[in-house]
Chains A and B, each alone.
Chain A
Amino acid sequence: MKRALVLVLVVLISGTLFAGGSGEKDAAAAETVELTFGSWRTDDVAQMGRLIAAFNEEHPEIAIRFDPTNPPDYNATLRLQLESGIAPDVFYARSYATGAELFGEGYMLDLSGESFIGAAYDDGSRAPWQAGDRQFAMPLVAVSHGVYYNKEIFAELGLAIPATWAELMSVSQKIKDAGIIPIANGLADEWDIAEVVWMNIAPGFIGGRTARLAYESGDRPFNDAAMVSVFTAMGSLAPYLPEGFEAISYNDSKALFLLGEAAMWFDGSWTVSEFEASDPDFEWSVFAPPAPAGMKQQITFHPDAGIAINPASEHIAEAKVFLQWLSGPKASAVLGNELAGFFPMVKQPPTLSNQHANDFLALNAGRGLDVRFPWPLLMSGDPSGYNLIMQGSINVITGRMSASAAADAMEEGISSWYGPAM
C-alpha cells in the first residue's frame, strides 16, 4: 500500500517536471507581450476573461490583463492615468465629446488609417467616435433601452402590450387598481430618471433622429410643443410610480421589479445579465417605449463603449492586433453572448443565444433608432443638457414645475452656452 502511494507520487512529480521542462512553452512565454485593458465595466471581469481566452486561442503571444475602474470614477481616473503616463495600453472610450476631448489632447491614437475598422463598422456606428474625419476609437458595443414588464402580472390581468402613451396610461391604471405598483422607477439617484426614462421616451415624442438634428441645428427651439409634451408625459407617470418615489433609488426600483412588486420598469439593456443571474426563473420581457398616438415608435440605441489605443503604449502593434480581432466575427459572437444586453456594433451582428438580449434587439425592427438625446452635442456646457433634462424631469414629476416651465428652462439653459454655429 505504502509502496503504491510512493509510486503514484513519483509519477506525479516526474510528470509535472517533464511538463514544466518542455522547451517550446518556455520560448512562447518569453515572447509574450502583456497589454492592460482599461474599462468601466467592473461587473464584466469573468465575461471579459472568457473573451480574452478566446483571443488567446488564436494569439497566445499577446496576454491581456483586464483592469476595470469603478464606473463613476472612470473618466477622471483614466485622465489621471493618461496624464501621468500609467494608463492602460487599450481602454474603453466614451462616445462623442467626452472621448473626443481626450483625443484632442493627444491621449488616443488616431485610428483613421486602420482599414479593418471601416470594413467591420458602418459610418453610423463609427460616427460617435469620430472627431472631424478622424477615428479616435473603434466602436465596440451599444446598449438599448425599453420598458421591462413582468409577464406573469400582464397575463394574470389580461393586459396587452401598450403601443401608445394613452395605452400605457390605461394599462398602468389597471395595474394600480389591482394593487400592484405599475412602474418601478424612482427619483432618489436622479441619473436614472434622465437616462432610462426621459431619454428612453423622448425620441418617440419629438420624432426621432431627424428631430434631434433639428434641435441641434437651431431649427427647433428646445421649448417647442413636442419638447413640452415629453415633460408632460414625464409628469403623467407620477401617479403610477411607487409610493415615496422621491426616495426610491435605482437599486430599489430594480428590487421592486425583480420581486414582482412592480409590473413595469423603464431601464436599459445592461440589466439583462444581472436579472438572469439573480432570478433565472423570473418571467419578464421588454416592450418599446410607447409613443403618442399617430407617432412612430423610436428606440434609443446608444453607442456605449468604443475601444481606443494609448499612443504612449509600448505595444501599439499588438494593441492593433487585438482591436482587429475584436472587430472580427468570432469576437462579436463571444462579446454579444457573454455580455448579454450589450450589442456588438459590427455590420453583420452575430446571432445571439440569449433570449432577453434578442427581445431587446427585436425592438429595433421597423422602428426609428437614435442615440441618447443630449449625448452628441449638449453635454459639455454648464448647465448641461443632461442636467436640465434630469432636473426638469424631477421637478415636473414632483409637481414643483410645469412641463412648459421645464422646457423653457431647457431652452434658456442650453442657449446660455450652446449655439449651432459652435
Chain B
Amino acid sequence: MARKTTTETHWSWIWYLVPALAVYTLFMALPLFRSLQLSLYSGSGFQIDTFVGFDNYHRLLREGTTADRFWGAFGHTWIFFAVHMVVQNSLGLLFALLLSSRNLKGVAVYRTIIFVPATLAIVVTGFLWKLLLNPQWGAINIVLSKIGLESWVQPWLGLEGVSLVVIALVSSWQWVGIPTMIFLSALQNIPDELFEAADIDGAGRWSVFSKVKLPLIWPIMGVVMILTFTNNFNAFDAVFSMAGANGPPNYSADILGTYFYRIGIAGEHPVGIPDMGLGAAVASIIFVVLFLGVLVMRSVFRAESDQ
C-alpha cells in the first residue's frame, strides 16, 4: 500500500509544476525570446517586419552618435553599479554588524529608520532629493554655506561626472535597507557556540569578524552582489526621476535604462518616434551582460563557499 503511493506520487508531482511553468513561459520566456527576435528586425513605429540580421547591433555598437551614446550609457551603468557595490553594500554590511551586536539598545528603531527609504517610491525620493539638492533653495547647499563650506556649494545635478555619482548615492541611500536586512538575518543565523568557541580561543573583534562572521555570510554576499548587479544594470527610475530621460548634463548621467527608454519606448524628444528593433537590441545586450555577469558571480561565490 505504502509502496503504491510512492510510485504514484513519483509522477504526479509534474502536474504541480505546470501552472508555474505555464506562467513562466507565457510571461517570461516567450517575451524574452520575442525581444531577442525583434532585435533582428526593423520597421517604422510598432510595425517591425523587415528582417535586417545584425544591422541593429552594428548600428548600436559601431555607428555614429547611436554608438557613442550606447557606449557612454554602458560605461555609466558600470559606474552606477560600482557606487552601489561600494557605498550601499558596505554600509549595509556595517549597519548589519552594528545592529547584530548584543549590547546595542533600540535595535528595532534603527532597523526601521534604515529600512524606511526602501518602502518609498523612487518618484517620491527622487523629487525629495531634487528639492534638497536644488541650487537655489535646496537645504544641502544652505547647510553647507551655514557651516562655512561655501566653496562646496554646487549645482550637484548639473555637473558632468558629478550628477551620475550623486544620483547613485541617492539610490544607495534609498536601498541600503535591503542588504542590511539580508546581512542581518545571515548574521543572526550564526550559532552562538561559534562565538563562544572564538571567545575561548581568545579571538579579538577583527578575528571574529574575518574568521567567523565573514566566511559564514560569504554565500549571502554573493546573493547581495547578484541582486545589486541585476537591479542596477536594469536601473532607470532613479536617473529618470532626478535628471530626466536624457541623463543630463551632456548625457553624462545616461545609463542603459534611460538609453533604452529613449530608443525603444519614448523616442527622442520632441519627435518621439521609437525605434523598437534598435531598442530590442539594447534590451538583448542588457540581458546578455546580466546573464554572463550572474554566471561569473555565481561561480565565484559558489567556489569560495565550497572550500
Q: Report A's interface with B, CB cutoff 8 A.
A: 72-76, 79-80, 83-84, 97-98, 101, 105, 186-191, 195, 242-249, 252, 256, 261, 379-380, 382-384, 386-387, 391, 394-395, 398, 400, 413, 416
B103 within 8 Å of A (CB atoms) = no
A-B contact count (CB 8 A): 116
Do B136 and A76 touch across chains, with their CB atoms under 8 A apart? no
A72 to B271, CA, bound (A): 9
- Complex contacts, A398 vs chain B, CB 8 Å: 249
- Complex contacts, B153 vs chain A, CB 8 Å: 244
- Interface stretch, picked from B104-112, B155-163, B172-180, B283-291, is B155-163
Shortest C-beta distance, B170 to chain A (Å), equals 14
- Complex contacts, A101 vs chain B, CB 8 Å: 44, 273
- Complex contacts, A391 vs chain B, CB 8 Å: 250
Q: Which residue of B lies closest to A188 (CB)?
A: B158
Residue from A76, A188, A189 within 8 A of B272 (CB atoms): A76
Shortest C-beta distance, B271 to chain A (Å), equals 5
Do B135 and A244 touch across chains, with their CB atoms under 8 A apart? yes
A-B contact pairs, 26 of them (CB 8 A): A72-B269, A73-B266, A76-B265, A79-B46, A79-B273, A80-B46, A98-B272, A105-B44, A187-B248, A188-B244, A189-B244, A195-B270, A242-B135, A242-B136, A246-B157, A246-B158, A247-B133, A247-B135, A247-B155, A247-B156, A247-B159, A248-B136, A261-B136, A379-B270, A382-B66, A387-B268
Q: Report B's interface with A, CB cutoff 8 A.
A: 44-47, 64-66, 130, 133-136, 141, 153-160, 163, 243-244, 246, 248-250, 265-274
Shortest C-beta distance, B161 to chain A (Å), equals 12
- Complex contacts, A383 vs chain B, CB 8 Å: 65
- Among B46, B135, B163, B268, max chain A CB count under 10 A is at B135
- Complex contacts, B156 vs chain A, CB 8 Å: 247
Shortest C-beta distance, B45 to chain A (Å), equals 5
- Complex contacts, B64 vs chain A, CB 8 Å: 382, 416
A187 to B252, CA, bound (A): 14
- Complex contacts, A79 vs chain B, CB 8 Å: 45-46, 273
- Complex contacts, B248 vs chain A, CB 8 Å: 187-190, 394
Q: Which residue of B lies closest to A181 (CB)?
A: B136
- Complex contacts, B272 vs chain A, CB 8 Å: 72-76, 98
Shortest C-beta distance, B30 to chain A (Å), equals 19
Q: Which residue of A lies closest to B163 (CB)?
A: A247
Do B44 and A187 touch across chains, with their CB atoms under 8 A apart? no
A242 to B155, CA, bound (A): 11
A387 to B156, CA, bound (A): 23
- Complex contacts, B244 vs chain A, CB 8 Å: 188-190
- Complex contacts, A187 vs chain B, CB 8 Å: 158, 248-249
Do A244 and B266 touch across chains, with their CB atoms under 8 A apart? no
A79 to B266, CA, bound (A): 11
A80 to B188, CA, bound (A): 52
- Complex contacts, B135 vs chain A, CB 8 Å: 242-248
Do B154 and A244 touch across chains, with their CB atoms under 8 A apart? yes
A80 to B266, CA, bound (A): 11
- Complex contacts, A105 vs chain B, CB 8 Å: 44-45
Do A76 and B274 touch across chains, with their CB atoms under 8 A apart? yes
- Complex contacts, B159 vs chain A, CB 8 Å: 246-247
A263 to B153, CA, bound (A): 24
- Complex contacts, A246 vs chain B, CB 8 Å: 135, 155, 157-159, 249
The verdict on A191 contacting B269 (CB below 8 Å), with A83-B47, A245-B158, A246-B155 known, is yes
- Complex contacts, A242 vs chain B, CB 8 Å: 135-136
- Complex contacts, B246 vs chain A, CB 8 Å: 190
- Among B47, B66, B268, B269, max chain A CB count under 10 A is at B269
A384 to B65, CA, bound (A): 10
